[in-house]
Amino acid sequence: MSTRAEQFLNRPLALGSAKIPNRLAMAPMTRMHSPGGVPGPDVAAYYARRAAAGTGLIITEGTYIGHPTAGESDQVPRFAGTEQLQGWGRVAQEVHAAGAAIMPQLWHIGIQRTAGAPPFTDAPSVGPSGIALDGTTGAGTALTLADIDDLIASFAQAAAQAEHLGFDGVELHGAHGYLIDQFLWQRTNHRTDSYGGDPVSRTRFAADIVEAVREKVSADFPVLLRFSQWKADHYHAQIAPTPEDLDTVLAPLARAGVTAFHASGRRYWEPAFPESDPDLNIAGWAKKVTGLPAITVGSVGLDGVFAPDRLGRSAEVTGIDALLDRLEAEEFDMVAVGRALLADPAWAEKVLSGRGDDLISYTKDAVRTLH
């Protein structure tokens, strides 16, 4: 007899050309285990282990696009360079052999980068207006139109490389106060040209990236876009205070060619706009206003909410009945699991087979092991 989890989670899903065996995705989580930006055999094994245990879609950790301003660690993988791309090709092969689909998350951290940090120490910290997440002006260099063109091209080239390497799609990281999100957020985007001003103009950078990617990849190659209201250390930030505002933000991105939205909330059970609907979460609203598939994420399977100091936080296993209720109601289409899957590579297999008592709690030691 199938479990309720199996009934609603163990169903295939097509996102463009990607055929995903079930509704469980691994959420992207930064690891810093790729010296020189090269994902090695340990990285391939890390993802393949979770794929073999039933996770249907692997969304990789954020991987820097091929632009010197993209990141600030030489331990974070890059999606550019011969050795780096060869490493990613091996990762994709091993995940496919284990039975899952895989998409790299393409990443540029923007103004959150510390100038002078590796891997390219001469690169400046850049953002739409040189304004930090806390509103501090002069925190970095404001991007010129030529800079923007270069960055858009770098995202598109990374997506083309992903398809060439056999990945099943890509995810653009447009959440958590990183570069794409910095354009979307009024606090960090004070531009007076066509990339700033009203909410629609602030979506242009993201939409231009999606369009550029679409020009470089096959017509049905999936392009996911991850977005959030909250930012790093700014949990009450909003790019869209109302459902109407969310429609304003997401509609241009849907028209540009986004396949599905990965809506990042810190607690999947919290309503995004309680004054409009006491239950519907941010992924549910993304699906409602765009009509596109949506992926939910946020403290799935754990009783403690995500925090930046997650290495020092523990969280106990908790049930997912409320999650299954929402999935049954078709509030969203997929579930991305983060810390629970980090701590327990076999999380999907155990949940689908009704072995909840065997799940491993999220602890500091589990995070350090990163097995």
Q: What is the mean pLDDT of residues 346-367?
A: 87
The whole-number pLDDT of residue 370 equals 53
pLDDT, tens digit, 9 for 90 and up, residues 246-260: 999 999 999 999 999
d(CA 209, CA 219): 15
The whole-number pLDDT of residue 2 equals 74
Please return the burial class of 47, using the count of CB atoms within 10 Å of its CB with bins 0-12, 13-18 and 19+: buried
Q: What is the mean pLDDT of the chain?
A: 95
pLDDT, tens digit, 9 for 90 and up, residues 297-320: 999 999 866 555 444 478 889 999
Cβ contact 52:5 at 8 Å: no
d(CA 205, CA 225): 13
pLDDT, tens digit, 9 for 90 and up, residues 151-210: 999 999 999 999 999 999 999 999 999 999 999 999 999 999 999 999 999 999 999 999
The whole-number pLDDT of residue 310 equals 47
Q: What is the mean pLDDT of residues 18-24?
A: 98
| Confidence check: pLDDT of 63 > 80 | yes
Confidence of residue 98 (pLDDT cuts 50, 70, 90): very high
CA-only gyration radius of the chain, Å: 19
**Where in 204-328 does DSSP place strands (E)?**
223-231, 260-264, 294-297
User: What residue type is assigned to position 248 of the chain?
Assistant: T
Whichever domain contains 22, its CATH number is 3.20.20.70
The whole-number pLDDT of residue 303 equals 82
CA dist 355 → 6, 71, 117, 127, 350 (Å): 11, 40, 45, 46, 5
pLDDT, tens digit, 9 for 90 and up, residues 41-52: 999 999 999 999
User: Among residues 46, 178, 195, 268, which one is catalytic?
Assistant: 178
Total of domains in the chain: 1
The whole-number pLDDT of residue 369 equals 55
Residues 6+ apart with CB under 8 A from 59: 25, 26, 27, 28, 102, 103, 104, 105, 171, 224, 262, 336
Percent of the chain clearing pLDDT 70 (strictly above): 95
pLDDT, tens digit, 9 for 90 and up, residues 105-144: 999 999 999 999 999 999 999 999 999 999 999 999 999 9
| Confidence check: pLDDT of 215 > 60 | yes
The whole-number pLDDT of residue 38 equals 98
d(CA 338, CA 298): 8
* Residue 268 bears catalytic tag: no
What pTM value is reported for the model? 0.96
The whole-number pLDDT of residue 184 equals 98
The whole-number pLDDT of residue 312 equals 47
Q: Which pair of structure tokens corresponds to residue 317?
A: 């296993």
The whole-number pLDDT of residue 331 equals 98
* Sign of the dihedral through C-alpha 24, 27, 178, 263: positive
The whole-number pLDDT of residue 311 equals 45
Helix (H) or strand (E) holding 209: helix 204-216
Range of the domain at 133: 4-369
Percent of the chain clearing pLDDT 90 (strictly above): 90
